Structure 1
């Protein structure tokens, strides 16, 4: 599995699946979540409402992931995961690792060979860039992710890019 890093806009990525740092409602929000929902259009919101009406009426718990069609994005899938919110007392780093691992598992399930991730938890949820990068690294190395050819981390700032580069020193991009 190839790891690439870049600073940029995750909604512009051409890949099979884009991971959304969602809130538990799955109905949009700020940051990456809001940007993905805006770019994907009403189709994504409709798919998320179906998930909420069916299998997740209480919302998506932190550390889990679920895939929906990607609406107007160039990707086929949006994989939603909810990071633990440090400001709300959710401080277990294993839940953060689980966000990445559960998203990779969903990517395998839907047959996504290329997956673009943001820095889950590094925004308003209060995790440091180093903690987020370490969690991503641990999840990528926890097992062979058969069928996934590339994991691309699309990071919103140079400092977060630097933290991921420290973990994935062999990565290009």
Structure 2
């Protein structure tokens, strides 16, 4: 597991994860960037899936990306932490790894799911992401996991959480 400052759309991995909405309709932030970089075929593939509940993930080809697949993880909207947000966020990370394993992948890049327009407090979201990945490693074995950070502040949060 590592954190790097990078544009997730440029990474050469088996799958990049995008912070999707339940309609898988594209949008702003990382989801918009992934859709723009992958091309219009990505939206068509998402429309064929028909949506994804919060806390789950769906997978499509990567189309114009270096990544072979895009995993569309739907994290929760922050409502103060009393509406099951931590479990839903952890579920989105676990579901993403399950989709990766279904296609035989071993490398994945995550953004900070739910920390943009969904308003999840970044420090709490980063802790959930790292703890969930560690639990998954214990349960299913290691994978090549990259946390792709958009800015230095996010990178610093991940680096602190990843310290032994």
Could you state the TM-score of these two structures normalised by the residue count of structure 1? 0.87
Q: CA, structure 1 residues 148+26, in 2 after alignment: closer, same or farther (shift >3 Å)?
A: farther
Partner residue in 2 for 1:138:
131
Q: Is there any run of 5+ residues in structure 1 with no aligned partner, and where?
A: 53-58
Equivalences for 1:103-142 in 2 at 5 Å?
103-142=96-135
Q: 2:9 maps to which residue?
A: 11
Distance 2:79 2:27 in 1: 17
Give the structure 2 partner of residue 55 of structure 1.
none
Partner of 1:45: 43
Runs of 4+ in 1 over 6 A off after TM superposition: none
The alignment's C-alpha RMSD in Å is 1.8
1:149: how far off?
A: 3.1
Q: Report the counterpart of residue 86 of structure 1 in structure 2.
A: 78
Structure 1 residues 157-172: aligned runs within 5 Å: 157-169=151-163
Query: Which residue among 143, 148, 151 is the counterpart of 1:149?
Result: 143
Q: State how far apart, in whole Å, the 2-side matches of 1:147 and 1:14 are.
A: 21
- The 1:138–1:161 alpha-carbon spacing in structure 2 relative to 1, beyond 3 Å, is same
Give the distance between the partners of 2:34 and 2:84, measured in 1 at CA: 26
Deviation of the 1:9 alpha carbon: 0.7
- Secondary structure of residue in 1 paired with 2:96: helix
Q: Is the 8 A contact 2:12 2:66 kept in 1?
A: yes
Is 1:65 aligned to residue 51 of structure 2? no
Aligned residues: 162
Aligned-pair CA distance for 1:143: 3.0
Q: Is the 8 A contact 2:94 2:136 kept in 1?
A: no
Query: Would the aligned equivalents of 1:19 and 1:117 in 2 still touch at CA under 8 Å?
Result: yes
Q: Report the alpha carbon displacement of residue 87 of structure 1 after superposing the two structures with TM.
A: 4.7
Report the secondary structure of 1:142's partner residue.
Answer: helix
Q: TM-score normalized by structure 2?
A: 0.92
Unaligned runs of 5+ in 2: none
